[in-house]
Structure 1
């Protein structure tokens, strides 16, 4: 932000008070007229340029949640009681107790618009940012995941964006030495021009060593450490992430951050040693809103005041003005609060890891955040007004005009296929259901040697042992899955959000881990559109209600609005991440058919449900009707069966049923280890049995002698249990319907993405 020819150092607080009528470029920074007037009321004068920079980014949609707060409160008011929850919403990431003195912290966030403008750096810095969120809780990051959505796979812009996004995620994560253990890749024309790049990270820490973003203790020092501050990322939060995305976004390329994973790797090890030395009172990562965010949030959560000399901020570009320093979102930076007596030890650790560190300020109890530049006071504000007291909008919302017609246009009118063999192959060879190996092969899934399960398993799983010093005494592991279905949410956002949670919950359970907690990334169009706000309100209500029923609290997450080009919004896309815990990773259940001669068993009931299905989408390009019915009690019962059966050693393999139904689940189970199967369908309609996407179902295989024990366990939980057949042979044979060699299934499954992306 530059205001004419006047040197910005002259825009002191005194000068601002003396020139009340001087126009300020608040609209250029995304502020509304009434928001600017409120800033003036808070300060009793017009803001300086630096103060305006702080308020503009801190009150942006991306940082303040001003359009979503009124709805997100349901995650707290409806939160289920959880003894495992150690840190909930409001901190950099949630923390849950996973037993044996250990805790896990995890969170998912979006980097959507930057990844469209500059795919490689946008996606890479999305990974870097979420990793620092985990570091700031006092944890060692141990793995990442990503949930990706692009336009049609054969659309030209998808061919531009997807390779860069994958390359950016791969480069940053691989350089950090963090395994990428799972996620999603989904294609739909609604995401053209608005890809969704949602990154998740999980970390481990001792449960008594949690760090928080707070600045207590007048006289304590404020230390900025990590990379130097540059011009990259200026306006990222207020411009790229908090406004409608137009075609001219290509011109905003300078607003995309530039990442340095090697500096972040040093920063991780440096932070962990600082924590071990117990020289950190409070800590905050610098992501969206940069120095503005770190200083205001730390001060607001501490003793209320802080002084900062912006001349002391280490710069890559010495021409940066104060406003630009405050708004820069340069990566690989952290801010810590340190007692004066611990400063020498703190600096020694930073020097050891070759991490630049500078004392730039001091904690006070004045209730004011005061910043100077060239000896003049250029910021003097109550920090809480920027960090916690931004505008809160109760946006109007109403059901979309065509919603009833969309729901009435169910798939019942579509011609059902006569050739079910050809239908399966067509779905299996589509970009959404085909192999994602072209993507996942670019990620290191097993670096560090603690990955127990990774893509294409239903969820990723990591052992705790040897990840952290002193963890050798535990056999525990953590499992994570992310899921979401924009078509379901378009048909019914309330049910769609619940189905996203149910699938992630189920994906964790099929591995033998007990679901414990939830994070979410809520991707929607403009909140200024009442129809979009209705979708958002319904999705949040649905997710909060489902978490309450399933007993899994929301620990935190992210809202990403303005995912639209012009007036065309993406499908409402709530992405849900679920973390689970397994007591002994040796009891984990692998995906699919793991050996010959096993009984194949379907758990759960199948209904005629095709609204939003892959069959309707792939074969007819149709979206209409209602999504599959949600039965959360059935999901909870199914998960209980899966977790207990795994613990008791009954299961040899398992796989959830979701997109594409039983047909795709059977196929993927065969492909997992190259083992065929011969099965009979449980119902009298082969098409419904094979391709319905009814929820609350899983496919498992057991030793013949274990079938009776599994059936008895299912009976106790009232989970339907159907013996389908036996594993073995070189084909998937569905009696009376078709037989397809596993080799043909593999060839069809592997073909889509390499054919498009090379």
Structure 2
């Protein structure tokens, strides 16, 4: 099978060796052994890069009482979606070819949580994503490292893919500073725990250190690139397929995690609070449930919740699907917290109203929190006093990057 791949592309190939359990690497030339070395000194006994480090100072946890309300919910939403982190990057990605041999199923323009490319000539497809939330890693490197892996896993799950593996790209400042080295150590610890629990191995990676300007480090950014497999690409989902009349169901619990949130930073200029806790067992449970819903075609509109929480996810789903959304708050949380909380292991799904009861019953049987939080209707995004047209929200979301580039020019 391997040879056929090389022959297809006109490439030479030859068998040059085989693996064994000897613990040695043996090289032969014309049948004569010219090298026989034990592998342990090159691997197990190799020197470790273990610079002096100190435990990072982590942000304290916040309660919902610590989170100020916005002066105006409409203005808060507009501020968030027009910020550099959250604004549309269409100006950038539309200038590049995103298609591979007519096999691209999903890209930046299609409204999916991961890109998808068919395996040519088969029903299989690969899903790919890249994730990291530097403000979480800065606030708590261990939890931030876990979250980067978990969000990549969640994004693959949200399109229906079985997560396979990750590659890491560790971007930090100078490791000669014990504080920075502490961030590196603890972020890797968190990533390693997530990879073990989610059975999501690291198969490659690279490191970029000494990223500083005038002695000031970049935010710690351990980026995770991830790949997953769809055995049948017809069993896929995106957040671009919400239909008018469908109800929106929120899967996963919302406790009101607002520490280090995009809401606090952009609306109140506060970079405080521990990032959301990542319960990896809950991630697995909720993710497997959502993936089963997709594969059984019980849902087709699916979006994971991350930066900006429910309100941002609903907006992105509405914009991609070209349908308005009316949201409600069925909890005891304040509206601004329910709208913008960044609790992990959550998904927003669209389902026909007649099928919503069955979905909620399946979730209850699996012990998974799920509740109806909205309806797809009209051309506006509305939520307890907030009501803005999708067209005005799209304009605000797409304005920042072109204006920034024009000013730079």
Other-structure match for 1:427: 80
Q: Counterparts of 1:706 and 1:617 in 2: how far apart (Å)?
A: 38
The 1:413–1:677 alpha-carbon spacing in structure 2 relative to 1, beyond 3 Å, is closer
Other-structure match for 1:653: 301
Matched, 1:513 2:166: no
Other-structure match for 1:621: 269
Which of 193, 197, 210 is the aligned partner of 1:549? Answer: 197
Other-structure match for 2:254: 606
Which of 111, 115, 134 is the aligned partner of 1:486? Answer: 134
The answer to whether the Cα contact below 8 Å between 2:160 and 2:237 also exists between their aligned partners in 1 is yes
Other-structure match for 2:282: 634
| Structure 1: gaps (5+ residues) | 1-205, 212-268, 283-300, 307-339, 341-362, 369-381
How much does 1:365 deviate? 4.5
- The count of corresponding residues between Structure 1 and Structure 2 is 396
Other-structure match for 2:20: none
Name the SS for the 1:654 alignment partner: strand
Other-structure match for 1:237: none
Q: How does 1:425-574 map to 2 (within 5 A)?
A: 425-455=78-108, 456-464=111-119, 467=120, 472=121, 474-574=122-222
Which of 26, 30, 49 is the aligned partner of 1:393? Answer: 49
How much does 1:392 deviate? 3.0
Name the SS for the 1:522 alignment partner: strand
How much does 1:508 deviate? 0.7
Q: How does 1:189-200 map to 2 (within 5 A)?
A: none
How much does 1:566 deviate? 4.9
Q: Deviations over 1:97-124 (max 9, x none)?
A: xxxxxxxxxxxxxxxxxxxxxxxxxxxx
Which of 11, 15, 35 is the aligned partner of 1:274? Answer: 11
RMSD across aligned positions (CA): 3.0
The 1:560–1:385 alpha-carbon spacing in structure 2 relative to 1, beyond 3 Å, is farther
Q: Counterparts of 1:570 and 1:616 in 2: how far apart (Å)?
A: 20
The answer to whether the Cα contact below 8 Å between 1:592 and 1:655 also exists between their aligned partners in 2 is no
The 1:271–1:489 alpha-carbon spacing in structure 2 relative to 1, beyond 3 Å, is farther
By percentage of residues, which structure has more helix?
1
The answer to whether the Cα contact below 8 Å between 2:70 and 2:267 also exists between their aligned partners in 1 is no
The answer to whether the Cα contact below 8 Å between 1:512 and 1:643 also exists between their aligned partners in 2 is yes
TM-score by length of 2: 0.88
Q: How does 1:163-174 map to 2 (within 5 A)?
A: none
Q: Counterparts of 1:703 and 1:413 in 2: how far apart (Å)?
A: 38
The 1:386–1:443 alpha-carbon spacing in structure 2 relative to 1, beyond 3 Å, is farther
Name the SS for the 1:756 alignment partner: helix
Greater Rg over alpha carbons, structure: 1
The answer to whether the Cα contact below 8 Å between 2:100 and 2:117 also exists between their aligned partners in 1 is no
Which of 698, 713, 732 is the aligned partner of 2:362? Answer: 713
The answer to whether the Cα contact below 8 Å between 1:411 and 1:624 also exists between their aligned partners in 2 is no
Q: Counterparts of 2:349 and 2:336 in 1: how far apart (Å)?
A: 21
Name the SS for the 2:169 alignment partner: strand
The 1:409–1:633 alpha-carbon spacing in structure 2 relative to 1, beyond 3 Å, is closer
The 1:407–1:364 alpha-carbon spacing in structure 2 relative to 1, beyond 3 Å, is farther
Q: Deviations over 1:119-152 (max 9, x none)?
A: xxxxxxxxxxxxxxxxxxxxxxxxxxxxxxxxxx
The answer to whether the Cα contact below 8 Å between 1:670 and 1:676 also exists between their aligned partners in 2 is yes
The answer to whether the Cα contact below 8 Å between 1:453 and 1:462 also exists between their aligned partners in 2 is yes
| Structure 2: gaps (5+ residues) | 18-23
Q: Deviations over 1:326-365 (max 9, x none)?
A: xxxxxxxxxxxxxx9xxxxxxxxxxxxxxxxxxxxxx985
Name the SS for the 1:751 alignment partner: helix
How much does 1:415 deviate? 3.6
Q: Counterparts of 2:355 and 2:294 in 1: how far apart (Å)?
A: 12
Higher normalized contact order (CA 8 Å, seq sep 6+, divided by chain length): 2
Matched, 1:696 2:352: no
The answer to whether the Cα contact below 8 Å between 1:521 and 1:575 also exists between their aligned partners in 2 is yes
Q: How does 1:281-360 map to 2 (within 5 A)?
A: 281=16, 303-304=26-27
Q: Deviations over 1:678-730 (max 9, x none)?
A: 22122231011111111111111011222123223322332211112221211
Q: Counterparts of 1:414 and 1:606 in 2: how far apart (Å)?
A: 15
How much does 1:584 deviate? 1.1
